Amino acid sequence: MGAVRKIRTACRSCHGGCGVIAHVQDGKVRKVEGDPASPISHGTLCSKGLAATQLAYHPDRILYPLKKGDGGWKRVTWDEALNTVAAKFREVIAAHGAESIVIGQGTGRDYESHLYRFANLLGTPNVLTAGHMCYVSRVGATLITCGNLPVSDWSGDPRCIVMWACNPQWTNPDEHKGVDFWRAYKKGARLVVIDPRKGFLADKADLWLQLRPGTDAALALGFLNVIVAEELYDKEFVENYINGWEAFKERVRQYPLEKVAEITWVEKDLIRKAARMYATTKPASLQWGVPTEQTLNCTDCTRLLTGLMAVTGNLDAPGGNVFFVPPPVRTVSQFARHRDLPAEQRNKQLGGDRYKLASRVALITPKVAWDAILTGKPYPLKAGLLCGTNPVITRANAREAYEALKKLDFLAVIDFFLTPTAELADIFLPAGTWLEQNHVADNWKRHGYILARQKVVEIGECWQDHKIFLELGKRMGQEWWDTVEDALDYLLEPSGLTWEQFKEAGYLKGEQVYHKYREKGFSTPTGKVELYSTILEKWGHDPLPKYTEIPESPVSRPDLAAKYPYILNTGLRIPTFFHSANRMIPWLREIRPEPLVEIHPQTAQKHGIEEGDWVEIASPRGRVKQRAKLNEGIDPRVVVAEHGWWYPELKDAGHGWDRANINLLTDNSHASMDPVMGATNLRVLLCNIARAEE
Ligand SMILES: Nc1nc2c(c(=O)[nH]1)N[C@H]1C(S)=C(S)[C@@H](COP(=O)(O)OP(=O)(O)OC[C@H]3O[C@@H](n4cnc5c(=O)[nH]c(N)nc54)[C@H](O)[C@@H]3O)O[C@H]1N2
Ligand SMILES: Nc1nc2c(c(=O)[nH]1)N[C@H]1C(S)=C(S)[C@@H](COP(=O)(O)OP(=O)(O)OC[C@H]3O[C@@H](n4cnc5c(=O)[nH]c(N)nc54)[C@H](O)[C@@H]3O)O[C@H]1N2
Ligand code: SF4
Ligand SMILES: [Mo]
């Protein structure tokens, strides 16, 4: 055996960022460990990161490009694979226009700069991501409200923390890892938890508000009602920096606590206590989680939570929610050349007239893509390229996603494995994992850091995604660089560092400045925090945020609730899996071999269900099976189901994509979506349950 080399890099088995020291021996990664010098993770790694070797060297991983023919998948060269994609795309562009090609990705995976550059230079405005209901929706809503995404300032020592629909110990979401929140909390901060489920943090909280799922916007209005009535707001701030304060106060007064308590199921005294605690303990930081975005209240809820940060004087204040200053490098948008998509093409964006906020942040909601494929309206989508996404498992109304992708004339998929989505493709391009790439990581995040993710090994013929876009782009006649590293030099240029130098440095941090609005105002049309939105007004929408009852809830559909009496809340993350990923990783699957649905013991008893029984969960759109886990920490009227399930091992049965996949039950009708963002509802649906056979 040769000597062990240790290489510093950055994980990306979730949204990424944790510092890793990879141990390499004889050209193979033997193990990974946490890097104590990492400013993001301080030496910690989660189960997914630690299992990276089992991902990289998995026997089912596809190590060569594949092309589908009559006899199934067959190995081809990169040249043949890329030339096939390029030829097909040229054919579609000539016959139908570039807008007939959909380019798609899933959650943030550090290649959006390259994917968007490819799409923009191709000339298609139809980029499909998960951003309509995750994170980008928060970015979009805050862009129009206060000009940027406010992020929790854990190192600024908040004295009060409001954990609003977020579970950072398990999810390490967005900019920060759970460990940074934990450090802030351990310094003695007060903790308010807003969550329908009693988890680890609800148990520790000073106040836990167990709300009805999906009613967060109403609860936020309740908080604001207290803050306005008791004048707990920052008077200097609201006078100088809020657009439409009087009108906003008027709106907030329409939500007295009696009404809010009825909507949210939270006692009004508890709402009052929590609002007071947040508004009077300074500084206070509010960490929002993705469930606040996954209903039709998405944009309004984000705007209301931003309102809470603003009126309490916690916006861009140390220890509050701040706009971190990025290091001086080219941004994702600059690299992606959004401005080079011709206006004529941008105007053809599917759903662009309707979902104006989605359009502003350059993405489409999946529904409009599936509609275009299945109905040919307003024009047909003919071909697609999907990178790092599994919509057949992860998007609302999975059956429609499946039918649509199957109907495309041509589909190319970039992934590690033949997932249920990849199985629908004509060309499969094998991606390198984060252990196989050189990249300036975390540039899309808003925490003020960029990180060096450096290549540790090469495996099979896999290419990092960035190289795939670069090589395919060149074949389409686009302007790219010779190598991935040349592109990184361009990205880093304003910092004065080359990729080689940055790799040595490990990371760069922007110089943090607080209260920037005192000099420059906010980057909105009025220069103020637009609680009254001039942009939404221009688009013909209510300029003030409100609560809208979920279209499929016991309140709005008592008729349907007679047959489907429970609220189905889907998508609780678990530490071992990342959405539909990792089900094939032995160390991780061993911890959670089967999907679990949480049911209150009283509810389970009514249906004769016991711990560990298989349960059939049914909604008006379908039925799937998961195993019962009894949980007293949820309301008896609520059922909590896991998402992302398929069975990689069931190779001859479509990988079991339709057995436990909760998105067969979720809804993507236009009526159920956020009116400007197209956020799909994944968190509040009606369902029924029954004991099922094995
Ligand atoms: N019901 C329900 N559904 C949900 C949610 C929910 O709460 N409830 N949450 C939603 C949210 S917030 C999101 S963001 C979406 C995520 O949706 P997706 O991003 O589509 O989901 P994943 O399963 O993470 O990713 C799919 C594929 O990416 C591959 N992959 C991982 N890393 C790489 C890489 O570096 N390169 C390439 N080429 N491939 C890679 C994996 O192998 C996997 O097959 O899911 C959503 N789906
Ligand atoms: N291990 C793991 N980590 C992940 C992911 C993963 O799949 N697995 N996915 C990543 C992605 S893309 C995302 S977007 C993030 C999301 O990460 P988080 O924002 O933390 O999202 P969740 O874990 O889905 O939900 C957080 C909490 O909100 C509660 N909740 C559910 N519905 C509601 C509601 O209607 N209102 C309120 N107030 N609370 C509610 C849940 O009970 C849970 O405790 O996680 C990322 N990290
Ligand atoms: S939280 Fe886990 S998966 Fe995410 S970057 Fe850190 S170690 Fe990797
Ligand atoms: Mo997400």
Q: What is the mean pLDDT of residues 211-238?
A: 98
- Cβ atoms of 221 and 192 within 8 Å: the answer is no
Q: Counting ligands in written order, which one lies closest to the CA of residue 578?
A: 2
Cα dihedral 74, 78, 82, 87, rounded to 10, equals -70
Helix 298-311 with 136-146: angle, nearest 10 deg: 50
pLDDT of residue 28 exceeding 80, the answer is yes
pLDDT of residue 410 exceeding 90, the answer is yes
**Of the candidates 390, 388, 393, the residue with the CA atom closest to the CA atom of residue 646:** 393
pTM for the whole structure: 0.98
Can you give the pLDDT at residue 199? 96
Helices and strands (H and E) in the chain: how many: 28, 25
pLDDT of residue 693 exceeding 90, the answer is no
Can you give the pLDDT at residue 116? 98
Average pLDDT, the chain: 98
pLDDT of residue 40 exceeding 80, the answer is yes
Mention every residue, 6+ apart, whose C-beta is less than 8 A from residue 389: 104, 105, 106, 107, 129, 130, 421
- Atom 24 in ligand 2: residue holding the nearest Cα: 572
How far does residue 186's CA lie from ligand 1's centre (Å)? 32
Instruction: Point out the ligand 2 atom lying closest to the alpha carbon of residue 684.
Output: 35
pLDDT of residue 368 exceeding 80, the answer is yes
**What are the pLDDT digits (tens) for 521-552?**
999 999 999 999 999 999 999 999 999 999 99
Burial class (CB in 10 A: 0-12, 13-18, 19+), 269: exposed
Angle (CA) 331 534 120, round 5°: 30
Tell me the pLDDT band of 1, cut-offs 50, 70 and 90. Answer: confident
Q: What is the mean pLDDT of residues 328-357?
A: 98
Instruction: Point out the ligand 2 atom lying closest to the alpha carbon of residue 48.
Output: 1
Alpha helices in 110-215 (DSSP H): 112-122, 136-146, 168-171, 178-186, 200-204
Can you give the pLDDT at residue 606? 98
Q: Is the peptide bond before 283 cis (omega within 30 degrees of 0)?
A: yes
pLDDT of residue 694 exceeding 80, the answer is no
Gap between the Cα atoms of 368 and 374, Å rounded: 10
Q: Give the residue carrying structure tokens 């970039």.
A: 414
Distance of CA 558 to CAs 103, 246, 551, 552, 643, Å?
Answer: 40, 36, 11, 9, 26
Q: What is the mean pLDDT of residues 60-75?
A: 97
How far does residue 109's CA lie from ligand 1's centre (Å)? 9
How far does residue 195's CA lie from ligand 4's centre (Å)? 17
Tell me the pLDDT band of 242, cut-offs 50, 70 and 90. Answer: very high
- Cβ atoms of 277 and 160 within 8 Å: the answer is yes
Tell me the pLDDT band of 608, cut-offs 50, 70 and 90. Answer: very high
**What is the best residue among 12, 14, 31, 107 to mutate for testing ligand 3's pocket, by most ligand atoms within 8 Å of CB?**
14
Q: Structural domains in the chain?
A: 66-134+330-431+460-500 (3.40.50.740), 146-325+516-538 (3.40.228.10), 558-691 (2.40.40.20)
- Atom 19 in ligand 1: residue holding the nearest Cα: 106
| Three-state SS at 682 | coil
What residues pair up with 533 in beta bridges, in sequence order?
none
Q: Which residues line ligand 2 (CB under 6 A)?
A: 14, 107, 134, 164-167, 170-173, 194-197, 199, 211, 213-214, 216, 289-291, 569, 571-573, 575, 577-579, 683
